[in-house]
Structure 1
Amino acid sequence: MKLQQRLTGALYLVTGVLCSCLSHSVLAEGVSGYIPVKANPLLEQDIERLAVLANLPDLTKPYSVAAINQGLASIKQGHPALYKRLARKLAYYNQRIALTHASATLSAASVDDSKQAGTANALAKKDSISKANHRGSSTDENAALSFRSHAKITDWLMLSAGAEVSDEQQQATGALLSMGVSWAQLDVGYKEYWLSPFQGSSQLLSTQAQTLPSVSLSNNLPIQFLGMGFNYDFSLSQLSRQRVLYAGGYSDKKPPLLASVHMAWQPVPWWSLGATRNFQFGGGERPLSFNTMLKAFVDPRGADNDASVDEESGNQVASVVSRMHFDGRLPFSLSIELAGEDTANNKDYQLGNPALTAGLYFPLFLSDDIALTYEYSDWDNAWYTNNVYQQGYSHEGVVLGHWAMQDQHLGGTAAPGTSHFLNTQWYTPWQHIIDMTLRTSEHEGAYRVDGQRIQYQHAWNAMLDYSIPTQHLTYTAGALFGKDAFGQNYGQLKVSVLWN
């Protein structure tokens, strides 16, 4: 039986089980919507504050509205200003039919035309810069619109509409059919994913590339057992077409697929532990089989490292992560993730080509009005490349994970490197918001153009947004400027208006 047929059968089975549970009212809690990822910086920062102060199990995004509601009541007395802001915005998400998010942005950019930049342009095949975590968009984008809405048909069935449209690209981000209960929700459509607890980057899956069409099964509220919380998320997504090696030749007949398995455990309220495995498989002329996937899961070394090219299951990445919340006069969270590309030392349990990310987040830095985030990443070589997939771990030519590796992906290398991320958000005494971000990255090695070997340069960018919120609208003026790893300087100005 073909893999697609088995997956379809599995989905029918899951749907049948859900309907059976629903008909017998096994649980009162029902289906939940999601908070958009990297779409509303003010709302998302307030939710990050809530996650630490209310000990939410926040190892992945998108956050479910049900989980946010559950944690909101616990901060009503201690943090009334934060509670008021979140309660007002979440009121729309809790309505049965509502428009929850709408935004419009105008921007203008400048990219230099120096000799070094010209080399970079030839590599990238365009005179623009890919923007970090912006769903595949670049500085070429001059106008963009986005929205999210939903209609909750019953307690167990919800239809969500969403889209992001610009003069550069269009995608149905946030468009979903959701059904289920709090411990098992099935989502079909364009669900956003951010598989890490960090704000600045996600090594395995982020919003760097366009949103993937997917089918997923997850819980929207932690499953409580013996005083501990458990979370899971299983998904299957379709990637863009790329040339795939099989039987001595390349073909892009079929697009590859991406399967993801995430499990998390909250042994105590202030500590969450998680593990994630992502499988890129199929595509081109490569046959699909359930046995191949099963072998890849239980024997990653034998399925990839010790197999011939035609017998390889595909491409695998994995991570283990820990996040701790600390209360007190200066509450903060500490997150650490160790990720790997394939296996190491011929052992299934050792992650190959390790990538380490660590971060500190202070939701109330010296005052209730300032949040501060610092994150550091260090990665080995071979990330987002693969001998089977010509474009590697990517979608529409954009890496699926860490933003800092987009430059070296364009350069055709997979070099070791490091990155830093620093962000602060300040609610001024007159209730305007200043949001500042600094990113830097360093790539070892060099790329080649026309036989010439050129060293990567130190890359950086800075972003400054000034926002003025009113009762329902937020007006923002912002600037982005920096230099990429090819030595190309760039800058962009923007104005935007955001509803809710």
Structure 2
Amino acid sequence: MIKRIGLGVMLLLAGSPGEAGARGVTPYLPLNLDREIERQVERVLILADKPVMRRPIPAAVVLDALPKACEVDAALCERVHRFLANYMHVSGVAFASYEVAAASGSGDKTVMPNQHGAGADSHYRAAAAGYLQPSDYLLLGVGGVADEGRATATGSVLSAGFDFAQLDLGYRDHWWSPMTDGAMLISTEAPTMPSITLSNYRPLTRLGLEYELFLARMSHSNDIELTNGTLTRGYPKFGGLHLSFEPVSGWALGAQRIIVWGGGAAGGQSFKDILKAFFNPGRAQSTGFGNNVHVIGKQEGGVSSRFIFPGRTPFAVYFEYAGNDTVQGHAYLLGKPDLSAGIHFPHLGPFDLTFEASQWEPTWYVHHRSSVETGYGDGITNDRLNIGHWFGDQRLFGDAVGGRSNMLRIGFEPPFGGLLEAEYRMLVNDSYYSAIPYRHENLGSLSYSHPWREYAVGVEVDAGRDVFGGSFTRVAGFLRYGDALRSGYAESLDESFAAERAEGSELYVDAGVTTNRVQQDVLSLQSRTTTPSSSGAHLGVGARRQVSEHQDLGVALEADDVRGRSLFSVRALDYRYRFDSPLALNVFFGASRYSLNTPAYGWYLGAGPQWRNVLPGWDLEVNYRYGVKISRLRTLSTEPQGGYRPDAFYNVYLLSLGVSRRF
């Protein structure tokens, strides 16, 4: 399998038409290894109107973004450019970090979120990366991450190719989400897996296409269950494909899919077998492809978007809607989903502020065997640590509980220099999905780092209570090579920041009334029923930017009262076409959460006309909206079971009339 993919990759590299001026390979910036530079880079990319849909971030992408970002914040750009200079030699040390810590409390076994598997009880942590680049088209990286009890060659990668097709062999991280605190499909929660990756860092075609394809080897497992119930042992495979499009500056839409298969006697699949399962997941997970074809294991998929508002106070809004199953055999319907949303203000007065929230149904990262799928008793893990969102390690191992999390991060650059950062995380494993008496988890962190020569030196205090009620406190001191911090009074934050609102960009709030009805599919034997029409209130808030003479793109959050229950929806794509008259047409697409006995999730779409400037700054609009196959698990003991589906489905139809106030 690996040989076939490797051969295909080399043929692609050899056969790709060489474009005039095609650039060579790029190194990658650290990912959840150097907090200070990573925060600065994220801010630079927002100011440069460059949406981030996957990580680690290529150094060349940041270098290309600097000229535009420097027009807004020259001081920030100078600091980031100073760090990037570490990569601009034939060989050198890109970054290095060493941390010593002491922890106490009954909860000190907590796995620290996104830290490559490090626990709160680790007394040290070290990370570094160096490189040798003998040619523009060949790069050797040597790196590693170590904490108490584990060492991984993270950053040890051999790269070859071009800006349109870069091949990476080795221990390269993957993070497929615009979210910064948790990626559902793959993140840095677990130690880095050895992999082969093909990707581009220069967008292709007018659509701004970016892709990433990889195949990785998971850690050894003794608990791989064949379809007949027999156990085998081996190394499962983990692979996936990410595609994203950035047709206009400041907005991107992405889609990604991962698949887990093989290991021991569960292996032997051909490349054709994997492609069949990848492009027809509904059949692969329900009926299979026949007895003569090797089965696969787990599949997960998702859609994400990121929008940057170019205002005097710029910000990025981003969403991820992912599922780890299909619904009724339909590949386009995401089963057992997660809905995540975030917002990042890189310059909110003197602060850098990020807020993110996620909510998910059960079965994430747990996979039992079926008649057509291999089971993995260790779950979707590497070294028994979850490969996706960090919530997977904040529960009893193997429990498939659903839940929700929130994260608030505030950064502040004091006048005397350095970076002060506070971070708070909250996680709840919902009781209606599990009988285990989990507690609400609260994790807090406060850190300060200051530049010293070519280093950043600092201290961090972590404290919290885990889901089992155990509390811990951890104090750490660190030294990092590769300073990108503000040095002190010589720089004025206000004087160096010069953002202006782009022409045609606007914020808005809309309110109105809806008439709605709900089609329910909850009974096993009875056909679907539809409720009588009812009315309710509608409220929304959004942002959009002009992308051509007549076209706008944006995002929005909406709330509706549907038969006494709240329907929350996100417009991951909010498109508006403005005619020469006051008339405009809105078309939008996203996902919804319907607050029933247990939360229900599904796709959300709609369209409608808008009459602009009925009064100055006020618009009148009519929208038809549709919640598609919004589904929930019926897990409450109080819900009737006989004759009812284990999961219920709802189609929600809404017709709304409202006014919109633009700012």
Scaled by the length of structure 2, the TM-score of the pair is 0.69
1:305-326 deviations in whole A, cap 9, x for unaligned?
2339986421000110010000
Contact 2:283–2:289 at 8 Å: present in 1 too? no
In structure 1, the residue matched to 2:225 is 245
Of 122, 145, 155, the match for 1:174? 155
In structure 2, the residue matched to 1:389 is 376
Contact 2:100–2:123 at 8 Å: present in 1 too? yes
Give the letter aligned to residue 495 of structure 1: G
In structure 2, the residue matched to 1:480 is 462
In structure 2, the residue matched to 1:7 is 5
CA distance in 2, matches of 1:414, 1:280: 17
Asked which structure has the greater RCO (Cα within 8 Å, sep 6+), the reply is 1
Larger strand proportion of the pair? 2
Shift of 1:432: 2.2
Determine if the alignment matches structure 1 residue 280 to structure 2 residue 260. yes
1:355-404 deviations in whole A, cap 9, x for unaligned?
0000010000123xx21000000001111111111112111111111112
In structure 1, the residue matched to 2:279 is 298
68-77 or 439-448, larger mean C-alpha shift: 439-448
Of 405, 419, 432, the match for 1:433? 419
Determine if the alignment matches structure 1 residue 422 to structure 2 residue 422. no
Shift of 1:446: 8.3
Change (3 A) 1:137 1:308: farther
In structure 2, the residue matched to 1:335 is 318
Determine if the alignment matches structure 1 residue 269 to structure 2 residue 249. yes
1:90-169 aligned within 5 A: 90-112=84-106, 128-169=109-150
CA distance in 1, matches of 2:290, 2:29: 41
In structure 2, the residue matched to 1:406 is 393
Shift of 1:94: 2.0
Contact 2:114–2:187 at 8 Å: present in 1 too? yes
In structure 1, the residue matched to 2:56 is 62
1:452-471 aligned within 5 A: 454-471=436-453
CA distance in 2, matches of 1:136, 1:434: 25
Change (3 A) 1:363 1:340: same
CA distance in 1, matches of 2:474, 2:208: 44
1:407-465 deviations in whole A, cap 9, x for unaligned?
22x343111100000001111011121111100000023899xxxx6411100100010
Contact 2:179–2:319 at 8 Å: present in 1 too? no
CA distance in 1, matches of 2:111, 2:105: 12
In structure 1, the residue matched to 2:538 is none
Of 217, 236, 243, the match for 2:215? 236
1:245-281 deviations in whole A, cap 9, x for unaligned?
1153444432100111000001210100000000011
Shift of 1:284: 2.5
In structure 2, the residue matched to 1:78 is 72
Which structure 2 segments of 5+ residues have no match? 369-374, 483-663
Contact 2:155–2:172 at 8 Å: present in 1 too? yes
In structure 1, the residue matched to 2:300 is 317
160-169 or 235-244, larger mean C-alpha shift: 160-169
Shift of 1:91: 0.8
Shift of 1:218: 0.3
SS in 2 for 1:217: strand
CA distance in 2, matches of 1:356, 1:156: 39
Which structure 1 segments of 5+ residues have no match? 118-126
Give the letter aligned to residue 40 of structure 2: D
CA distance in 1, matches of 2:387, 2:364: 11
Contact 2:269–2:295 at 8 Å: present in 1 too? no
Shift of 1:25: 7.0
In structure 2, the residue matched to 1:122 is none
CA distance in 1, matches of 2:348, 2:81: 22
Shift of 1:145: 1.8
SS in 2 for 1:352: strand
1:3-23 deviations in whole A, cap 9, x for unaligned?
2342243244245446xx6xx
1:101-124 deviations in whole A, cap 9, x for unaligned?
011110011122xxxx7xxxxxxx
In structure 1, the residue matched to 2:639 is none
Shift of 1:43: 0.7
Could you say which structure has the larger radius of gyration? 2
Give the letter aligned to residue 307 of structure 1: G
In structure 2, the residue matched to 1:348 is 331
Contact 1:142–1:167 at 8 Å: present in 2 too? yes
CA distance in 1, matches of 2:444, 2:362: 26
Give the letter aligned to residue 38 of structure 1: N
SS in 2 for 1:47: helix
Contact 2:13–2:165 at 8 Å: present in 1 too? no
CA distance in 1, matches of 2:289, 2:298: 13
In structure 2, the residue matched to 1:124 is none
Change (3 A) 1:99 1:323: same
In structure 2, the residue matched to 1:44 is 38
For these two proteins, the number of residue pairs brought into alignment is 472
In structure 1, the residue matched to 2:172 is 191
Change (3 A) 1:111 1:309: farther
CA distance in 2, matches of 1:142, 1:278: 34
249-258 or 132-141, larger mean C-alpha shift: 249-258
61-70 or 341-350, larger mean C-alpha shift: 341-350
Identity %: 30
CA distance in 2, matches of 1:269, 1:247: 48
CA distance in 2, matches of 1:5, 1:80: 48
Shift of 1:154: 0.5
CA distance in 1, matches of 2:10, 2:82: 38
Larger helix proportion of the pair? 1
Query: Over aligned residue pairs, what C-alpha RMSD do you find?
Result: 1.9
CA distance in 2, matches of 1:201, 1:46: 19
SS in 1 for 2:394: helix
Shift of 1:140: 2.5
SS in 2 for 1:207: coil
